[in-house]
Amino acid sequence: MSFDFGLFFRLTVGGLLSFAVLGLLRPALPPFWHWAWQGVAQHAGLWLIVHAGLTMLFGRPWFAMAIGLAFLMLIVQVSNAKHHSLREAFVFQDFEYFTDAIKHPRLYIPFLGWWKFVLIAIAVAATLLVGLWAETVPADRFAFDGLFGELLAQLVIGFVMLIGGQGGPALVFKPDDDARRFGLLSCLWRYARAERRVLRLPSPWPENTEQKGERPDMVVVQSESFFDPRPLFQGIRQEVLTNFDELRVESILHGPLDVPAWGANTVRSEFAFLSGATEEQLGVHRFNPYRRILDADVVSLAHALRADGYRTICIHPYPASFYNRDRVYPHLGFERFIDIREFAGAKRFGPYVSDQAVADKVRAILAEAGEPMFIFVITMENHGPLHLEKPAAEDIPAFYSEAPPAGCDDLTVYLRHLANSDRMLASLKEMLGAHRRPARLCWYGDHVPIMPGVYASLGDPKGHTEYLVWSNRQKEKAPTEALSLDQLALRLLKV
């Protein structure tokens, strides 16, 4: 096989353009010559492999280059949208959300932007049509001394560079930091390989979880996007969280809560509470602990309480298949998982099942209980995108003592739902206050809401949420205690 200058030129152009596309990432990466050399080698190797694979599929080298660059551009745009909303770059574990976006478009596409999504779809379609029409398939497509042989050589070189680029600085599993050292493509590859490590977590739970023999019923509510926004703007009425404020005074434990998510990725918070695992213990699994959880060795809070005679139930008013919870929650020790199917006809507030409907479901379960209960609730009402809802005229006087600045509609919508969360809290307190058995209520927020425009106007929140633990039996009140979410369940057992 003679040297093909056209092949060399094509690969050089495509490779340089692949580095140039990453220059559109925000926040910007350092120039590739400042990356660890292993990252540069793996980026180049991955590009060669992808280009060769696409050329084998379509038979058109220039068209394959355009498709590869278009897909890379899509990842860059998704990463930029994710960083804008969630303050984190795209990681390998996020590829799963491409299919989720098809199944649940309202949860994902609005953050990319519907117009941007449509333009990307049109650009991809145009690339396919023009590329298939403009470039002919070479006659030697399957010849070992022609295009096929060149592609085999390209694949070999690509794999050599990919494997030879292993090693280098250790990953810290902070996407922005790792991407600055290795580049985006190398990080995607390294996070994929790191995920093959099976998760093994030591049990943090005491052998006997009984609390002086009383074994109280435990209702734990992970309230969607719950945090106290009043420090953001002094014009927010204090009454928005009246019940939370009152219950906090009566609580046996409360304080700020350090959570492992910002704006989304609820499963990170769920798993931190249920497993008691730190981000350092999770490693790469911190990004989506449910992806490989069925292979993991984890003793959850539900396991521990179930072994102690509790019935264990999870309530989440959304399709059970989302995040594979229908398989994950039995694996984590829950006997029963109540999803959207058991909320047929339930009241909605906005697009999702209302918090009050969820409180009513808890009431019905406890009324029929004959043994100690652990009920883990994951609410949905306050789930974004908030900007798809519009404030009503009566919302301003209801939630503000002075009008908010322009561009704060998302905050107004959020306060409308937050007030309902506060009413749910009052309903649960009333219910448990009249409950015949000792009971504890644990309430916490999974993350702050996605409101980038509001934060740009009013300033960023600290990123933590709030929690409290309340008992329907007289208990000694505790001072404010700052916790990380992985510590909360163990403290719940010990107070």
Got the DSSP string for 91-116? -GGGGHHHHHHHHSHHHHHHHH-HHH
Higher pLDDT, 300 or 85: 300
Residues 6+ apart with CB under 8 A from 214: 438, 473
Place of tokens 């918090």: 355
Kindly state the DSSP code that residue 306 receives in the 8-state scheme.
H
- From first CA to last CA, the distance across the chain in angstroms is 76
* Span 86-114, pLDDT tens digits: 999 999 998 887 776 666 666 655 655 65
Which tokens sit at 450? 């996605």
The pLDDT score that the predictor gives to residue 316 is 97
Residues 6+ apart with CB under 8 A from 2: none
Which tokens sit at 378? 């994951």
* Span 471-488, pLDDT tens digits: 998 777 777 899 999 999
Please give the mean pLDDT across all residues of the chain. 90
Give whole-number Cα distances, 78 to 48, 72, 96, 178, in Å: 23, 10, 13, 18
CA distance 55 to 174: 34
| pLDDT higher than threshold 60 for residue 293 | yes
Share of the chain above pLDDT 90, in %: 73
The pLDDT score that the predictor gives to residue 346 is 92
Give the chain's count of helices (H) and strands (E).
Answer: 19, 10
**80 contacts 94 by C-beta, under 8 angstroms:** no
Which tokens sit at 155? 């694949």
* Span 393-428, pLDDT tens digits: 899 999 999 999 999 999 999 999 999 999 999 999
Residues 6+ apart with CB under 8 A from 360: 346
The pLDDT score that the predictor gives to residue 488 is 98
Share of the chain above pLDDT 70, in %: 90
Q: What are phi and psi of 439, to 5 degrees?
A: -150, 150
- Lowest mean pLDDT of 124-138, 143-157, 357-371, name the range: 124-138
Which tokens sit at 215? 């074994």
Own/partner pairs, 343-346, CB within 8 angstroms, 24+ separation? 343/317, 346/317
Residue closest to 304 by CA, chosen among 372, 209, 218 = 209
Q: What is the pTM of this model?
A: 0.91
Residue 439 pLDDT class (50, 70, 90 cuts): very high
Residue 23 pLDDT class (50, 70, 90 cuts): very high
Rama region for 405: left / alpha / beta (φ>0; ψ in -120 to 50; rest): beta
| pLDDT higher than threshold 90 for residue 328 | yes
Give whole-number Cα distances, 306 to 58, 167, 209, 299, 369, in Å: 55, 43, 10, 11, 15
Residue 136 pLDDT class (50, 70, 90 cuts): confident
The pLDDT of 41-54, averaged and rounded, is 95
* 217-494 classified as CATH 3.40.720.10: yes
CA distance 452 to 86: 9
The pLDDT of 158-173, averaged and rounded, is 95
**Mind giving me the DSSP string for 236-251?**
B-GGGGHHHHHHHHH-
The pLDDT score that the predictor gives to residue 208 is 65
* Span 200-254, pLDDT tens digits: 999 999 876 655 567 899 999 999 999 999 999 999 999 999 999 999 999 999 9
Kindly state the DSSP code that residue 200 receives in the 8-state scheme.
B
Domain definitions of the chain by residue range = 5-194, 217-494
Residue 297 pLDDT class (50, 70, 90 cuts): very high
